[in-house]
Amino acid sequence: MNLNVNNSELEQKIIDTLKTIFDPEIPVNIYEMGLIYEIKCDEHYNVIITMTLTSPNCPVAESLPIEVRDKVAAIDGLRSCDVKLVFEPEWNTDMMSEAAQLELGLL
């Protein structure tokens, strides 16, 4: 993760918020799933989140990035949040945290 503003409290708030967002088909949050590729915050507290989906045909392809944007933008102290949806590198289960892999029985 790349958080340009040196503010560990704000970084933790963003991560904590991302951990409340789930793909409805998978019982693991999007952060632990490895769907968040990058978080950038400028000196004016505008955040850009680069994320992916488990597949381009994901049923929540339209709604999930909007949910991420809206929930992160609502964090006190942030000015805005923009979400960039990318499919390269392609997501795979190796990107998941160990805890997420355990939860899904992959370890």
What is the residue extent of each domain of the chain? Answer: 8-91
Overall average pLDDT of the 8-13 stretch: 86
pLDDT at 60: 87
Per-chain mean pLDDT for the chain: 90
Task: Give the Cα separation of 81 and 75 in Å (integer).
Answer: 10
More confident residue, 102 or 7: 102
Provide CB contacts within 8 A for 84, sequence distance 6+: 48, 49, 50, 51
Residue 80 in this model has a pLDDT that exceeds 90: yes
Residue 18: what pLDDT? 97
Whether 77 shows a pLDDT value over 90: the answer reads: no
- Cis upstream peptide for 89 (omega within 30°): yes
CA 40/CA 60 separation, integer angstroms: 23
> Can you tell me which residue has the tokens 């993760």?
1
Q: How confident is the model at residue 1 (pLDDT cuts 50, 70, 90)?
A: very low
Homologous superfamily, domain 8-91: Fe-S cluster assembly (FSCA) (3.30.300.130)
pLDDT at 2: 46
pTM: 0.88
